[in-house]
Structure 1
Amino acid sequence: MPRETQAEENFTLDRCPACGRMRYLNHDMEFRVSTICYHAICTVCIRNNFHQGPSKCPIMSCGKTLRTKDFKKAWFQDLGVQREVDIRRRVATVFNKVEDDFQDLDSYNAYLEDVECLTDDLVNGDDDKKKLAELKLQQWEAEHRAEIERNRRLANESEATRRKRMAAEEALAQQRRELEIQEEAEEKLQERKFREEMLDSLQQGEQGKANETVSKILLKKRGQHKKDVALDAAGAPALSIRGLVDKKRTATVLDDGPYDPFMGLDLLPTRVDVSRERLAQYDNDTLKKVKMDDAWKAGGYSAEEYLSRALFEAFAGLGVFVDEEMGERGVSTQGAAQAAATGATGGRMDID
C-alpha cells in the first residue's frame, strides 16, 4: 500500500501517520492537513517539527518542505474531497468571469467547459497534466490580474447589495408586523367602544342612536378595506434601496428555449398527413383489435406508430426517379471512361 494511501487511512482511523499516537488514548488530539501535500498529522508533530522554521514533511515518501502556516483544519474526513474543494476554490478565484462578461451563452458555456477541464487536470490528471494545468493557471493569473481583481470587487459589491436587500426586506416585514399589531389593537378598542355605545343606546331605547352606531361600524369597515387596497397598490414608498437594477429599464433577455438536438429540423413527412386526427380515420380489423385490447398497449405497442411507419415507407420513394438518376450516372461514367482512354483531362498532372 502506498504511503499516501496509508496516511489517509490512518487519518480515517484517528491515528497520526508521523508519530503513531491515537485519539483513543489522547482525547485532546487534533489533526491538521497540509495544503501542499495534503498529509494529515497531529498538532504535536506540527509543533515539534516546524516550530523552528520550514522543514520536510514527516511522511517518509513525501519529502516536501512545509511550514506551520501551510497546515489547516480539515473540513472533510476524506482528504481527496478536501483537496478537490481547495483546488476548485483556488481556480474559482482566478477564473471569476460571469455570464455578463460574454456576448452570448455559448461563449460562456465554452469558458465554463475550459475551466472545468483545467480543474479536472489539476485534480485527477497525471504529473504532466498537473504541471501543464498549473502553468496555465499561473499564466492566466499573471496576465489578467487587474481583471481578476475587478471581478472580485464586483462580486463583493453584489454580495453587499444582496445583504442590504435582505436587511431591507426584513426591516419592511418587521414594520408591517408592527403595523398589523397596532391596527389590530386599535380595531379591538374601537369594537369594544362601539359595542358599549350600542348596548347603552339599546338600553336607553334610542333607536336612532343605535342605527347611527351601526352606520359608523359599516363606514369604518369600508374605509379600512379601501385603505388596504390602496396600500397593496402603492406598495411601501417610504423604504427604497439605492443602486438596485431597475427591472423596467432592463433590456429584455431573449430565452433560447429548450435544447433541440435537431436544430429546428422538421422530421415529419411532407407527402402524407400523419397527424393524430388523420391516423384515427384509418381502421381495419387488426387495428381495431389492437386499440380495444389493453394487453397490446401494456407492452408498449402503438397503433399510431405502426400507421406512421407504414405510410412513411409507402410514400418515401415517390419523389425518386430511378431512370433519370441512372441516366445521369451513366453520362458521368461514360465521360470519365472516355477521358481515361484518350488521356484528355481538364488539367495536367505530373507523376513522380
Structure 2
Amino acid sequence: MDDQACPRCKTTKYRNPSLKMLVNVCGHTLCENCVDLLFLKGSGSCPECKIPLRRTNFRVQMFEDPMVEKEVNIRKRILRDFNKREEDFATLREYNDYLEEIETIIYNLANNIDVVETNKRIEQYKRDNKEQIAKSKSKLGRSEYELEEMIELERQKEEERRIELVREDAEAKKKKIREKEALIDELTFSDANAKNIVESFASAIQMQKKEVKASLPAARVTQFSTGIKFGNQGNQNYLPMPKIEEGPLYSYTPIWQQIEGPTPPGWRELQSRGYVSHIRNESQAERAGGFKAHVACLRALQEAMAGLYHNPSQRQTEFTTV
C-alpha cells in the first residue's frame, strides 16, 4: 500500500502518509481530495471508465487490489436479492446450480462481461421471485435482530460481572485495611506478647482464606474431542511411583544377532588389529554430530562377515573355524 498512487493527481503514500484512497462500484480508485473536487455537485463520471458515479457511493478502500473491492461490493448487492437457502430447493443439485448461477453473475459484473444481459437476468429473477425475496429478507432481518439481542444480553452480563468484580475487589481492600487497623490497635492497647498477637492474626487470616477457597465452585473441566481433559490439571490423579521392593518393571535383554560367518572383531580390536588404519578420521563437525569413524568401520565389518558362510541350498548352515 505504500507505493499506491492516485491515478489522477499521482499522489502516493510516500509523499503523503495521510493519503486516503476511495473506491466506487466501478472498481477504480481515487484519493479523497480528487473525489471532493470531481464530485463537488454530488455526481460525476469516473476519470478512467467514464461511467456516471455518485459521491455517496465512494467508500474507503480496504483491500490493496481495487478489483477485490469491486467484487466485494457486487457480491453484497447480489446476495441481498439472491438470498435463497438450501431448504428452498427440492434437491441438492438444484441448490448447487443456483449457487453457480450467482457466481457467474458476480464474475460477469466484476469483469464487465455481458453486463447488459446479466442485469436483465437479475431483473427477471427479481420479478419472478419477488415474494420469496421479501420473505427471505424479513427472515434474515429477524435473525439479525435476535443475534443483536443475544449480543446485547451478553454485553450486559459481562458488564454486571465486571461491576461485581470491582465491588469484590473494593470489599477485599476495605477488609484488609480493617484487619490491619485491628492488628495495630491490638498491638497498641494489649498487654500480651506482640509475637503471639501477630501469629494469631496470621493464623486467622489463613483460616479465612481456606474457607473462601473451599466455598469457591470447582474449576470447570473441559475436554478435547479425543476425551483428554484440560483446565483442571492440578487435580489430576496420576499413577503411584513404583516401589523398589516390588521388583524391576523392565529387564534388559542384550541384542543377539545370528551371524553366518566368522565372528567380527569387537570395538577394542578395531585399533589393535589395524582395521581403522586406512579409514578417514571424522572431522570436528562430524564428531559434534555424534559420528565416529570406528562406528562406520565396525558396521561395515559386521555386514561383510555376517553372510560369508551362508548356503541357501541347506536349511542349516554349518559353521567352520577359519
Shorter-chain TM-score range: 0.3 to 0.5
Q: Pick the structure with more helix per residue.
A: 1
